[in-house]
Structure 1
């Protein structure tokens, strides 16, 4: 039995029997881990412990939520249907940029269509679905690795088009009579090019606490309580948005995908995943099913991009590099493709422990070293660290280069999972294609 299997076997059945308890237990352990580290670092640096712990919880909640959202969306493609889509970042970009262009002022730089934000978000989802459908028409003629190559190529094409100055629509000279702008039936808009584009939902939770004339009744109470315990208002706003993402949107994604998976449509998707030839021989137009699910999944990826990158108030094309897709796929692999609960668990484990964990631990090691040794030696390169034969120098090198070394750690985790638990943490709970459990092959015979 592998370490991963033993760790899963050690989880009490009370948690394993209920998805809600399992996710709640994982979140509780995550918050304790990061809260203790953040509080310790704040104490060492004579900063506000309450603010540090609250800020850490807010950041971790946000990352868990967005990675869970996108892992769920990817699970619809890869886990349910077996479509190897590694162009997630490109569809996120389409969603964010479509929303920003639809909502931007016609007189802005770059100009937009001036639609209300809710209408712009709905329009962005439709545009992302259409782009996904157009991409699916030729791409789904291919299988496995070839589909992956097409989708990652499309993702890069989207990023480079958004980065191109030809479509920027940014006025740098007020006296200019013409500039590079897209004109469709008299509607002009631009992408901002390499300079990026503003998004209209910066700190959306702030409206709960503040208005143009001052604080709301809720804001007056909440900000007052936060100030009493030493928590900043920005942490309150960010934490509120993160909690809404985690509780509302992750729940909606989870319920939606569960309903899809349990529907006749979803059972066809899982039949395609298991053996497309068999599904086609039963009279199912598998190509049409794949196009439909590709469009739905891309729309969900676009919404995930809006809720994640669109919430910062500004976005740049280089935000959507292929490594973003790699991260999301890693989250799904860790949790287990084919399982919605596994997607949420994978998003949480990846964001809290594989992505942010090494940085937190490095900060903890550095703080402990300051307490007991004054400071760590800082070797300038790996060779200098090794030849000193000083464990403190090794620790100093690891702390300084944790941003790069975490990729080695991440790769090691993936190699271990592929060798010892390729189905992921919850991959054994992959949803079957049949509407009933066919695992009992005894024909219903009794043991008597």
Structure 2
């Protein structure tokens, strides 16, 4: 049944990409949704993770340094470590800035990372990118649909681990401090909480997840190039978080699947309706449609489809407080 096989192939391909984006958006949600850090340089940290894992695991290549041939698992661990280190360095320099100033700084850093990837041909392959990135499980599952389904299962497993770990973190006292700093930093500091240290920890962990997502992307497609990490990627990831709902990890995951589905569906429709000569304009129209989707969501459900659950403090003399007493 070729039609069923094609449907399964496309569906699994779509779900792998959505799952990879969900891992990245979980990191962004930790930074923005729980800590209020306006990171507009997500694509840069994704690129660091993708290139790190690719360079650690690929075989040697002429004209390019690295190619260590490490196992994929070590490449992914290295990607998380490299992105976390990049987040640490950026955080130490920039996290004392606020809101739009932090956004401008992180955006500039992401552009610098993309330009380094484009011009450092001795390291990244320059515009030719990194090829022959190994694909895990291929030795057992072969190629085609069986491998795609296997990679999907692996990706979903990693997403589940990331989700459960973050749920434990944000429900712990550490997570409550993050929300307190987000809402009223001065009050949290007056209680002895080192706001900068907590913001830095949140930023580094979020960047590590972005690096993991970049590595998962690289090993799925088998080839990466600088144009994979343009600012439009950051725009897509922010759209996923806004639609799903910041401050809620389930919302971040839901938004990733929905927005990527909307992106794929709108792209397919535009390719079918717009003449070949106008495809470049159709791509711009696709971005505009995502912008319209964001605007509609902000007007209809400002907190997203699954926004953060509001925590209402019990009044000291209210009935809830009395009922809560032993």
Q: TM-score, normalised by structure 1?
A: 0.66
**8 Å Cα contact 1:57/1:239 also seen in 2:** no
Measured in 1, the distance between the counterparts of 2:166 and 2:283 equals 34
Partner of 2:124: helix, strand, or coil?
coil
Does residue 438 of the first structure (1) align with residue 313 of the second (2)?
A: yes
Does residue 201 of the first structure (1) align with residue 81 of the second (2)?
A: no
Aligned to 1:132: 87
Does residue 73 of the first structure (1) align with residue 5 of the second (2)?
A: no
Aligned to 2:264: 356
**8 Å Cα contact 2:117/2:126 also seen in 1:** yes
CA deviation map 1:267-303 (0-9, x unaligned): 1111111111111111111111111111111111000
Measured in 2, the distance between the counterparts of 1:379 and 1:198 equals 29
Measured in 1, the distance between the counterparts of 2:34 and 2:92 equals 19
Tell me how far 1:94 sits from its aligned partner: 0.7
CA deviation map 1:228-256 (0-9, x unaligned): xxxxx51232232123212x011111101
Structure 2 counterparts to residues 19-30 of structure 1, below 5 A: none
Measured in 1, the distance between the counterparts of 2:237 and 2:195 equals 26
Aligned to 1:225: none
Structure 2 counterparts to residues 261-410 of structure 1, below 5 A: 261-352=170-261, 354-361=262-269, 403-410=283-290
Tell me how far 1:69 sits from its aligned partner: 1.1
Tell me how far 1:71 sits from its aligned partner: 1.2
Tell me how far 1:308 sits from its aligned partner: 1.2
Aligned to 1:152: 107
Which of 192, 202, 207 is matched with 2:125 structurally?
A: 192
Measured in 2, the distance between the counterparts of 1:377 and 1:74 equals 34
Does residue 48 of the first structure (1) align with residue 15 of the second (2)?
A: no
Structure 2 counterparts to residues 57-206 of structure 1, below 5 A: 57-105=11-59, 108-112=62-66, 114=68, 116-117=70-71, 118-164=73-119, 167-169=120-122, 190-198=123-131, 200-202=133-135, 204-206=136-138
Relative to structure 1, is the Cα distance of residues 240 and 403 closer, same or farther in structure 2, using a 3 angstrom cutoff?
farther
Does residue 421 of the first structure (1) align with residue 301 of the second (2)?
A: yes
Relative to structure 1, is the Cα distance of residues 104 and 406 closer, same or farther in structure 2, using a 3 angstrom cutoff?
closer
Measured in 1, the distance between the counterparts of 2:140 and 2:314 equals 50
**8 Å Cα contact 1:196/1:317 also seen in 2:** yes
Partner of 2:303: helix, strand, or coil?
coil
CA deviation map 1:298-351 (0-9, x unaligned): 111000000013322221112100110110010000000000110111111111
Tell me how far 1:157 sits from its aligned partner: 0.5
Partner of 2:117: helix, strand, or coil?
helix
Does residue 234 of the first structure (1) align with residue 144 of the second (2)?
A: yes
Measured in 2, the distance between the counterparts of 1:103 and 1:407 equals 34
Partner of 1:112: helix, strand, or coil?
coil
**8 Å Cα contact 1:196/1:314 also seen in 2:** yes
**How big is the alpha-carbon RMSD for the aligned residues of Structure 1 and Structure 2?**
2.6
Stretches of structure 1 lacking an aligned partner (at least 5 in a row): 1-46, 170-189, 211-232, 367-375, 382-398
CA deviation map 1:47-93 (0-9, x unaligned): 93212211221122112211211111110100010000011110011
Measured in 1, the distance between the counterparts of 2:53 and 2:309 equals 36
**8 Å Cα contact 1:91/1:302 also seen in 2:** yes
Tell me how far 1:360 sits from its aligned partner: 4.4
Tell me how far 1:261 sits from its aligned partner: 0.2
Stretches of structure 2 lacking an aligned partner (at least 5 in a row): none
Length, aligned pairs only: 320
Measured in 1, the distance between the counterparts of 2:277 and 2:74 equals 53
Measured in 2, the distance between the counterparts of 1:362 and 1:406 equals 8
